[in-house]
Amino acid sequence: MTILQEPNLHERRLLKAVTNDSRILKGYLMETFIDAGSRFYLKRMRLQLRVGNKIPLVTGGVLLGGLMFLGGTPSTAFAQVEDEKKVLEMFYEDKDLVVTPSREPKHISQVAENISIVTAKEIEAIGAHTLADVLIHVPGVQIDLRGGPGVPVNTFIQGSDGRHVLILIDGVTFNTLSDNIADAALIPVQQIERVEIIKGPASSAWGSSLGGVINVISKDPEESRPIKGMLSASIGTRATGDFRGEVTGSKDPFSYYLYAGGLTSDGLRSNTSVDQGNGYTKLGWQLSDSSKLVFTTQYINANRGVGEGFMPSLRTKSNSSFLASIFSLSSALSDNLDLEFSVRGVKRKDTFTDSVPETGFELGKIRFKEQDLGASAKLTWRWNINQVVVGVDYDNGKLESDFVLGGEQRQERYALYANDTVALGPVAIIPGVRFDHTGTNGDFVSPSLGVTWSLDESSFLRFYVARGFSTPPLTYTFATGGLSNSDLKMEKVLSYQAGFETRALRYIWLKGTIFLNDISDVLDLDQNSGLFVNRGKQRRQGVDGEIRTVPFFYTSLLAGGTYVDAEDRSTGDTIPRIARYTYNFGIDFNNPDWFIATLRGRYIWWNAPAQQGGKYTSVAWDMHVAKRILTRDNLEIDLFLTGHNLFRGSQYADGAYKNADQWFEGGVRFRF
């Protein structure tokens, strides 16, 4: 049975977003059929678009959901359309649609920034436990692994400092107020739908992000079934275990996603034990055809050793807790106008305890307690060749610690931003600007301008220039002991990028970027006064590239590399301990009838001073293999095995914080 139906208001708005790049909607056809279970399924959705003189056909095969017979007569109404991103994904591949650059979904060919995307499928395929395990395999990103999964790490992008990298979870800042650091090893991966990584400043959209943005986008509830779930457990060397469970589903007008998990280890290196628990909730309420209310909560609690350190007679343990809640309302006001509004609250505590290993005697504690209340509003207007996004962010943060003046300091921030994507045939022009009031270190205006040029259906060029900044941590501006410096200014960057992406070669996808980042007002520790001061200029320039083959006999090859030349512009010297070379290698084998396997290699030349005792002379290789042993009705059972650092490669910049030696783990996963 075939039913032809005109799109409703919400669907027309989404289709207009799809056709923003000068494509004109010519027709809309949905074909459905009734199966033996008396349900309607979408068999095929076709959208005919005119692109120049060509009229391609975009096809998607997406299940919309079940409609039961009422009184023996089938209803012709379709199930409620999912949120905007899901509908757009009917027309694009998982990696073709991105949100982070302009804070609104658009096609990758209209993104001028250097961006990498990692999907949930890829995260599962490599057997990752935390976000750090994911990022270590992204070209251009460097992680200083200090043991096994869950052990604290620093994250760098193209040689940036760790405090220059902004990590977001569902739009909530994960960086601390105390030092602006975000520990990627604290973030579990099970609830992650995708990770979008912008390499280079993204201040015109997100504010303080001199080095880049890592945006963690969590899973949405399952729309096609009332209940769907997963349970998994793994155990390995030194009692390293990962235990997870999730359940999701929907029943109009409500939907839900629930996750709980735990990560444990006796420590794969000295003083690297981990005992971590996590939880995540997302609840949705479809208020009407065009409005939806979503509530999310993320909870993390972890007790961890931070590594052996430089003093064998001293051990440092950390306890970290993080709680974030968000209420968000999205509404389609018309065909061309969307409104989103959200409020959020964040609480976190970090305690570091120094003790004597032999006796356990405590030598001291350092405590940081933070909270933040914030709100955001965003308006998106699509008209003709434009997609305009304007918005406002507000945050009122408070830090309590004996290490800031008065034992408490506040940072009240607000920002106004706007960007536009102007599609002119094969060319897209993307201007953006943001004004930030930091509350502690002055104001800053971050303009950006990007241009993309689609050479054909498989290749495009991109050019990007942007001004960005990084706000000094509160412990730098308001340090105790006469070490505060209220005159600190923001670190600033002027960034230039040019790159390309192509699938023109028959069996290869290829991407490359050249970049130059000029940084001024660099924060530096003055050895005489003990204060952090703004002085000096740096230049970080280099090349970033990725390559992947199409599957051949179920096998794909991939590789990536980054070269960074970091120079002190005042002296002309090379800046030490900024990774100069980063290489990534991989092989994917994907035949579900046999097994799925991934092999990943990583190499970082840390360029660290010899006195730090670093060793990084070999590639670290990991391998993950999964085999489905049962498929029955709605039940699937997988067995998996992972080998880490298979050839005992040394990859560490500091001799006191070594990467884990060879270790193994195995587990089972149930889907229902």
Q: What are phi and psi of 660, to 5 degrees?
A: -65, 145
The pLDDT of residue 77 is above 60: no
Q: Render pLDDT for 188-247 as a digit per residue (tens, 0 to 9).
A: 999 999 999 999 999 999 999 999 999 999 999 999 999 999 999 999 999 999 999 999
| In a domain? residue 566 | yes
Q: Report if residue 160 sits inside a domain.
A: no
Over residues 275-303, mean pLDDT: 98
Domain-ending residue, one of 90, 113, 133: 90
Q: Is residue 221 domain-shared with residue 76, that is, in the same domain?
A: no
Please give the pLDDT value at position 94: 66
pLDDT at residue 13 tops 70: no
Asked if the structure places residue 137 within a domain, the reply is: no
Taking the C-alpha atoms of residue 615 and residue 596, their distance in angstroms, rounded to an integer, is 33
Q: Is residue 561 part of a domain?
A: yes
Q: Is residue 292 part of a domain?
A: yes
Please identify, among 39, 59, 90, the residue that sits at the C-terminal boundary of a domain: 90
Q: Identify whether 66 is part of a domain.
A: yes
Q: What residues contact 559, with CB distance under 8 A and at least 6 apart? A: 546, 547, 548, 583, 584, 585, 586
Encoding tokens for residue 68? 């039961």
Q: Is the confidence at residue 358, as pLDDT, over 90?
A: no
Range in 10-14, 93-97, 356-360, 441-445 the model is least confident about: 10-14
Mean of pLDDT over the chain: 88
Confidence of residue 54 (pLDDT cuts 50, 70, 90): very low
- Tell me: pLDDT of 544 over 70: yes
The DSSP output letter for 658 is P
Count: domains in the chain: 2
* CA 197, chain centre distance (Å): 6
Q: How far apart are CA 282 and CA 255, in angstroms?
A: 8
User: 489: exposed, middle or buried (C-beta count within 10 Å: 0-12, 13-18, 19+)?
Assistant: middle
Token digits of residue 355: 């003790």
pLDDT, tens digit, 9 for 90 and up, residues 618-654: 999 999 999 999 999 999 999 999 999 999 999 999 9
Torsion of CA 522, 306, 129, 327, to 10 degrees: -60
Inside any domain, residue 620: yes
Q: Are residues 86 and 219 in the same domain?
A: no
pLDDT at 29: 30
Q: How far is Cα 301 from Cα 279, in angstroms, rounded to an integer?
A: 9
What pLDDT shows up at residue 74? 31
pLDDT confidence of residue 67: 28
Task: Name the pLDDT band for 313 (thresholds 50, 70, 90).
Answer: confident
**Residue bearing the bigger pLDDT, 465 or 33:** 465
According to DSSP, the residues that pair with 327 across neighbouring strands are 295, 343
Whether residues 219 and 86 fall in one domain: no
Name every residue whose Cβ is closer than 8 Å to that of residue 23 and which is 6 or more positions away in sequence: 49, 50, 51
pLDDT of residue 79: 32
Please determine, for residue 367, whether its predicted confidence score (pLDDT) is greater than 60: yes
pLDDT tens for each residue of 486-523: 999 999 999 999 999 999 998 999 999 999 999 999 99
Mean pLDDT across 281-306: 98
DSSP string, 308-375: --S-TT-EEEEEEEEEEEEEEEEEE-SSSEEEEEEEEEEEEEEEEEEE-TTT--EEEEEEEEEEEEEE
CATH of the domain at 223: 2.40.170.20
Instruction: Say what the pLDDT of residue 347 is.
Output: 98
Quick one: average pLDDT of 348-365? 93
pLDDT tens for 578-611 read 999 999 999 999 999 999 999 999 999 999 999 9
Asked which of 15-24, 163-172, 313-322, 499-508 is least confident by mean pLDDT, the reply is: 15-24
Q: What is the pLDDT of residue 93?
A: 62
- Domain end among 36, 56, 90: 90
Q: Is there a domain that residue 133 lies in?
A: no
Find the domain containing 346 and state its range. 215-671
- The confidence band for 310, taking pLDDT boundaries of 50, 70 and 90, is confident
Residue reference for tokens 């799925």: 596
Helix, strand, coil share of the chain (percent; to 5): 10, 55, 35
Reported pTM = 0.88
- Contact status, residue 410 vs residue 397, Cβ threshold 8 Å: yes
